[in-house]
Structure formats: structure tokens, C-alpha cells
Amino acid sequence: MRPKFEFLEHLADAYVAARGRSLEEAFENAALAMFDVMTDTQKVESRIKDEIIVEEHDQMALLYSWLERLLLKFEIERNLYSRFEVGKILQTDKSWRLHATIFGERFDPTKHVSRVEIKAVTYHQMEIGREDDGYLLKFILDL
């Protein structure tokens, strides 16, 4: 079985390849990878539960907004997340939509190691593709 995500070589930023058997699982693993850039997600407990709804005009905008919304929750509310349950990603005539339940806890500098700060999610080199056994998402996080 392939890893949920891996970090690809990039000079200054974090270049992530996230995989999943379904598009929903790939989005979950993309979120996990993003938080793993920031801290050791294995030490983030499921003490709080939040809901997120994202709707965009295409899949790449959906991925971008999903990650951006999670990053903003960290920056504004200081919450770290380590478990993501993305419901069915739905396509309508005009948009793509996801609803997710996310689990984590408030950032505690005595418990959570700060790795690197993510400045932004980018569209640069973003890809959403199919593989034999599922989906592959690639994206760059500006550090």
C-alpha cells in the first residue's frame, strides 16, 4: 500500500503528493499532510470537532479552498487538526462541493512541536489525477 502522502523535492516550499482510494480520501490525506508540515500530527488529539463546507467552480479550486480554509482555522482559532472525514464530494451543474468533519485540539506549544509556518496554499503545480488504485493530488505550500 502506498503512503497517504509524501513530500516531493522542492527548493523552498513544501511540495506534497497526497493519495487516496477515493477523491474524498485524497482530500483527507492532503489536509493531514498540510498539518504534518506544521507539527507532529500523531500528537494532535481529537478533542474538538468542527464542520467545514466548501463549494467552488472546479476541483482544483475546491482543493485550494479546502486547504486554505483549514489553514485559516489554524491561524485564527489556533486549532490543529489530525483527523478529517470528508463526506461525498458532489458535482453539480455549476460547482463542486464538499462537507467535512474535522477533529483536533487547540495548539499548545508545550505539547505540539512547531515545525514550519505555512504562509499560503498555492495553485502553482497543483494537479488532481487518477491512478490505477485511486487519486493523486499534488500541491505546493508556500513556507
pLDDT in tens, 12-28: 789 999 999 999 999 99
- Average of per-residue pLDDT across 106-131: 95
pLDDT of amino acid 37? 96
* Gap between the Cα atoms of 52 and 97, Å rounded: 11
pLDDT of amino acid 11? 62
Question: Percent of the chain, pLDDT > 70?
Answer: 96
Q: Which fold has domain 5-142?
A: Archease, Possible Chaperone; Chain: A; domain 1 (3.55.10)
Domain boundaries, the chain: 5-142
* Gap between the Cα atoms of 48 and 62, Å rounded: 24
* Gap between the Cα atoms of 64 and 139, Å rounded: 9
Residue 2 has pLDDT above 80, yes or no: no
Residue 41, C-alpha cell as written in the block: 500530527
